[in-house]
A and B are shown apart, each in its own frame.
Chain A
Amino acid sequence: MRLFAREVRLSLRHGADTLAVLLFFVLAAGLFPLAVGPEPALLGRLAPGTIWVCALLAALLPLDRLFGADFEDGSLDQLLLSGLPPSLIALAKAAAHWVTTGLPLLVVAGPVAIMLRMPPAALGPLLVGLLPGTLTLSLLGTAGAALVIGARRGGVLLPLLVLPLATPVLIFGSAAAGAPLTGSSPRPELLLLTALFLLALPLCPLAAGAAARAAAE
């Protein structure tokens, strides 16, 4: 718990990180009307996918520093000697990542969706889907970040590692938000998203913890 507080405090002290994530998200989503034109019907059809892709990419931004900073300044050794199981350390990091990126993204996703002329009926499934979706992205990202600790081109490697793993989240998330546009129910997709989250919840911290311990060698 104290570890979680530490991570959040560190992120907030470097508050620019969270702000950069949000700005990236809003700007990237704002590029779509410029590129595909301002026609509301077209934008509305594209909106669920646009928001999901932008959220996914924005969530990747701060991952590089998640373990990297601790590895470089020696804090990782201290974390591993703290008496906590490494998987719990990874879980605290994932939770802090979600609080400082996933949660703010969830908050601004609504206004951005309205900006993109998304039909109001799709707004609910979008936001409900983003909740387990961003949680899963934080968990996957933590595992990816732990795997590239100490790698020389870790920043480049990380998206290559995480993006393929994140595709199911992207597919079901944007399908859920797009379901009301075709008149079908978003329920199956939302349940699948929740299942993905429940699957990642134990697996990703275990993988990340093992990777962090291996990296300390």
Chain B
Amino acid sequence: MIKARVYVTLKKSVFDPQGKTIHDALQSLGYRGVADVRQGKFFEVAFEGLGGEEARAAAEEIARRVLSNPVIEGYRVEVEA
């Protein structure tokens, strides 16, 4: 079983109201020195019957085509054997 981890995050230029709300909450909880919070999505995709390279290519395509919206989001893929 090969596992891919896909991180989908809003592009830097896109305002993240959820992250801002969490940031505000952290400040009101007394956490000092928190400069910014950005919320994103995390996916674990498990592959069966694929080789490492195939799994990586599939994970990249899934991340690009389905899991993220290129207008507002970027993604990062990590694959572990």
Chains A and B form a bound pair: no
